[in-house]
Amino acid sequence: MKKTIAFVVFEGFQLVDMAAVAVFELANDCPGGPFYDLMLLSEHGGPVRSSSGVKVDSIAFDAHVYDTVMVTGSMSPVVSSPRFIDFLRQSCAASRRTASICTGAFLLAEAELLNGRRVTTHWAQARELQHLYPKTRVEEDRIFINDGNIWTSAGMTACIDLSLALVEQDLGTANARLIARMMVVYHRRSGGQSQFSALLEMEAKSDRIQSALSYAKRNLAKELSVDELADAAHLSRRQFSRAFRNETGKSPAKAVEALRVEAARAMLEDSSHSIDVVARETGFSDTERMRRAFLRTVGQPPQAVKRASRLGKM
């Protein structure tokens, strides 16, 4: 029997959230499918305009029981009507799973569905969510979180990671990996992974410094001395060190450490590799050096990151 996935939209929703629909569409092509019926719901039905101006067709809220209700988000939290909130309370109480994308978490919180729950949302709105709804437990630096039958995700492309996780729960890891490949994305980022990228945050302004950063990310298992990075940038050691700090705000050593921590964190969350193996493959000379780097960057040791990831998958 096919499962009904209901996407809740409203005036000003973000069109990028519809990428989540594509995940379930592709899931229907997996062996044994189709597995899902997909629906777009809105308070009044009919065309609904997204924040980009593109309209989508929808059907009006009804008393139907849905397997999964997914509430889309917007550029900023929306003001909802009592009828909208009542629908969320009733439909989510009857559904197997309830999920929010980006600021859709504000709507679930308004419906009192997130009280006492661990949740996330777009990093730019996380503190506001916690302030407005103090009964929630907001973890702002997460891709998605599953707490009971409630799933919440960060914004933008995190809707793909969330949807892949839901499909993985239904159809298994192999099918989720196949769908990820079809969508040309990394097999979903773990829920505990940071919303931020060390490489993006450094934002090199010149091609030469960007080349050095890209070289470092591809070769984290190497020693990556300043001389080696300078060669990759086709600059002298002195020119490179000065230009690197001016463009990124970090020394080459600190930048490499940030890239190593990011790679190590992803390995700890997405694999069964031991701490020793992760340290070796990401260029830390030993586990103690990696532990100190994690404490400086993440605020907790690698063992805690790995343990939290396991708990998040239960």
List residues with catalytic annotation. 102
Give the Å distances, CA to CA, from 206 to 118, 216, 247. Answer: 40, 16, 8
Print the SS3 string covering the chain.
CCEEEEEECCCCECHHHHHHHHHHHHHCCCCCCCCEEEEEEECCCEEEEECCCCEEEEEECCCCCCCEEEECCECCCCCCCHHHHHHHHHHHHHCCEEEECCCHHHHHHHCCCCCCCEECCCHHHHHHHHHHCCCCEECCCCCEEEECCEEEECCCCHHHHHHHHHHHHHHCHHHHHHHHHHCCCCCCCCCCCCCCCHHHHHCCCCHHHHHHHHHHHHCCCCCCCHHHHHHHHCCCHHHHHHHHHHHHCCCHHHHHHHHHHHHHHHHHHHCCCCHHHHHHHCCCCCHHHHHHHHHHHCCCCHHHHHHHHHHHCC
